[in-house]
Every structure is written in C-alpha cells, then in structure tokens.
Amino acid sequence: MSHKSNFQILHDSALNKSLAFSHEERQNLGLRGLLPFATSTQELQIKRVLLNLQRKNSDIERYIFLSQLQDRNERLYYQLIIEHIQEIMPLIYTPTVGQACREFSQIFRQAKGFYIHPTDKGHIESMLDNWDEDDIRTIVITDGQRILGLGDLGSNGMGIPIGKLALYTSCAGIEPRHCLPVMFDVGTNNEDLLNDPLYLGYPHHRLDGEAYFELMDEFIQAVQHKFPKALIQFEDFLAPKAFALLKKYQDTVLCFNDDIQGTGSVALAGLYAAKRISGVNFADLKILFLGAGSASTGMANIIVSALQAEGLSLEEARQRLWFFNKEGLINPQNCALQDFNLPFAHDIPNMSIEEAIATHQPHAIIGATGAPGSFTKSIVEAMSEVNEHPIIFALSNPTSKAECTAEQAYTWSHGRAIFASGSPFEPVEYHEENDGRSTKNVRVFHPRQGNNAYVFPGIGLGALACQARTIPDELFFTAARALAYQIDEQDLEQGSIYPPLDEIRGMSLAIATAVAEKAYELGIAQLERPANLKEYIQSIMYDPSY
C-alpha cells in the first residue's frame, strides 16, 4: 500500500477509526506518525463527541457538527446514533432537519448524494455510472416541493433524503454504502430562493406537467437497470404528484411513498395502542382529520383497510372518516376535490370543526395541516366533551408546525387526552384537583412522537431481505400491527402509545420479519425463504461498532 493510500485511510469515512486504530494497526497499515500517540476506544470517542455537542450553542450547529462527523468517521457516527438515539435523532432529523433544509445552501460543506436537473434529460443512466457504488439497495428521493410543513424549499430539500437514509442505517442496519440520497431538482417556485445568490439549486421555476413525469420516469427506469435490487422511497412530494407517482409505479417497481403509506402505518399503530387506553373497539372508531393532503389521505386509506378487516364494508369504513381542509369540511359542494381525497367527500353540510365534533362525535382528531395552533382550546374541549379519553394526534412537523403542544392537549382535556405528535415534546407534569379538594394529584405524561422512523426502516429492511418485487399496501398494514405489539402496559400508563426510541433496532427487526413473512405469503418474495427468517435478517443488519 502506497503512502498516499495509507494516508487516504484516514480520509475515507467508511474505513477511518481515527484514534481507535491500535498501535499494531498503525504499524500494519502504514499509519505511524499520522496520528497522536494516544489510542482510544469507540466508547471513549463517543464521550468526546457528546462533550463537543454540549459545547455547541444551537441545534443547527449540532446538526452541522454531526454531518461533518459522518463525513470523516462513518462507523462512529452511526454507533453514536444507535447508543444515544433519543438525544441524537432530533438533531439529525425532525425537528432540526427543518431548519437545516431552510438553510441548506448557507450551511453547505460537502456534496452528498445525487442531483438530477432538467438539463440531464437523456443522460441519467450514464450519470449513475458516476456514483462510486454499484450495489445500491435503498434510494430516498424528493423534489423538495413540500418539505415537512415548510413548503417549497427546492434543492435545499436534500437534507430530507440524507436524514432519512441515516435513519435507515441506524434504525434498521441498512449498510451506508448501499444508500443513495437523490434530489430531483427541477426548480422551485419559491421566489426568495430564486433571488438568493447562495441558493445551490436549479435557478428556474419548477418543471411541471408531462416533462416532469418523463424526467422522473427516465430516472426510475435507469435505476431498474443500474441498481435492480434498489428500493425507492418517495419523500415530501406535493400531494397530486405523490399520488400520481405512487399509482404509476407501486405495482411494478419496488417503491413506496413514506408520507402516504409510512405515515398511515404509524398512525394506525398509534390508534391500535390508543384503543387500549380509551376502551373503544377499533371497529367502532370514528376520526376527524384536519388536512386533506397526502399524509391525511394516506392515513385514511390504511385505516379504511383496517376497518374493513374488522368486518366493515368499504363505504361504511369511509363514512367513519371526516376531513377538514382550508376550505372547510370536504364535501362535493364546497371543495375542489382530487382523485385521492374524493372518496372521503361526504354529502354533508359544511360546519365548523366544533360543530362537526358534536355531530360526528369522533373518537380521534388527527392533524396533518402544517398550520401551528390548528387544534384550539375549543376544539380540544369539544373532543373532551364527547370522549372520556379523546385521541389527539398533532402530527405536523417540525415542532413549530404542530397543531397543538403536548401541554395544551393535556391541560385543555383535563389530563384525559391520548396524545401523539409528529415531532418530540418534553414530558408534561399535569396537576389535577383531587375530587374538588385543595390537594392535587400530579401525573407526568411522556408523550412520544408518531414518527415514521418507527416503520419505514423496518419495512425497507424486510422488503430488501426477501427481495420483494413490490411493496403492496398489505405490508404497511402488517407493519402497523407489528409496531403496536411492541407497546407494553408501562408505556400506556405514562401516556405513551409508541415504544421508546432506544428500542428501535429491535422494533425494526420485528417489523422487517413480519413484513418479509407477509411478502412470502403474498408470493412477491424472490429470495428463497431462510430456515430462520428473523435470524437471517438480523445477520444482515449493519453493525458500526469496532
């Protein structure tokens, strides 16, 4: 090995261990003189990283620091996430990734991922040859048009695929070299970005119509040829495009849309858990949605499937779900409907949200609006009037976009709400008067976020482990049930309807096993079934420790 090659070991993030190279390794690899004398364990390195994180003055600075750690020592980065996921996940994904995307062009340090522009039409397959790994298994792609609840961020949305793939690796053990973040950068209609001299994206208004779908199809077909085992995850597309792409490819390509199907699976798991607190039979469940876009209708579709499994007809199941958007209660008279939300437009008069709660008497209200404060005090109080334990899911993220805070949900419901959110909230100490006397009971709630990270890594791992041809809706239904089984009585007693994040690799393994089992049952798995499916999946999970 030449001196240059030896030196390059320290600059290859997949190989570099820095001070964790022993003196013997330094001798054998030609690294003597290139490192300080001291050696370190990975455990000690993690302590050093945590100490440096504490010295940062803001979460965006911590995000930048962690991104640079990923660039120089990949295994240390992922081991850190695995061991400290409660602390690190909010820094590498929601809520901090929202700010990172807004400021992506300003905080740019080093290119990561693959970029496609309209000028690349006709060249995408040859461009994929430029990527230095020919065994890609997981692709996350966005066009940046609907980033979280922040809107059109154009090329700045690349922070989302980067963050999602970090979760695929840390939560489900997908090897980093098999991951490819993709920005489908076809412009932006955000004038502030177009006028920003630091903006890194394609500096034109968005490509749309047939030209948009032709360019996307070129990419999809190039992936089928270049990376035939790859799973494609669509992320943060505007609802009409999200549903159009899913409809076009879901039956022929190994792909899914996380905002539609992943969100639906997580929400369904939460509802399964919530019924153990509320006592309401799932077959009797009624839900009111605020927001009628891809996330809400994705949740609705999988909930309808679950209600049908309980014995309801398709029409009966859909009648249980009512939707509000910015125009009001969606019905054929007062809303401009699209194919994806048309099935949920009921022939009912328009009314206020509070009136709809009194009329429909929903057991749950689910927000995916991107509009902070949408769950007002009067709405939560109305839900509490018709339910002993109202289910309040404020799922918009980042945290600044939540429909209400955890504290508001518990306070306005007098401590009776079953709450979940799209981004994390701190535990809430709720003081309740004891039977009208002056003494008070104190209860501490530990709300957990209904984060898609609970399901999409496990679904992806399961699909890849059995080499599924496609990912039909049945696999998301299966994942929801598998996640719900992970929630124990202790979780429920403290107001948590999702398991602790520090158990997420085990949860991903359980979900992956259930998903792969279902794929074999459906006849869509291409790999011969191993004798012990769970052990096989566990054996292929990436371990970053050294």
For the annotated catalytic residues, the residue numbers are 93, 164
| Contact indicator for 524, 468 with CB cutoff of 8 Å | yes
Q: How many angstroms separate the first and last alpha carbons of the chain? A: 22
Question: What is the DSSP code string of 74-132?
Answer: HHHHHHHHHHTHHHHHHHHSTTHHHHHHHTHHHH--S--SEEE-GGGTT-HHHHHTTSS
Work out the angle at residue 455's Cα, subtended by the Cα atoms of residues 450 and 458, and round it to the nearest 5 degrees.
155
How many whole angstroms separate alpha carbon 495 and alpha carbon 201?
43
Name which of 337, 388, 330 is nearest 361 in CA terms: 388
Whether the CB-CB separation of 311 and 283 falls below 8 Å is answered with yes
Tally Cβ neighbours within 10 Å of residue 28: 12
CA distance 478 to 202: 40
Contact 478, 468 (CB under 8 A): no
Number of Cβ atoms within 10 Å of the Cβ of 123: 12
Residue with tokens 């749950």: 364
Query: Measuring CA to CA, which residue among 347, 349, 386 is closest to residue 365?
Result: 386
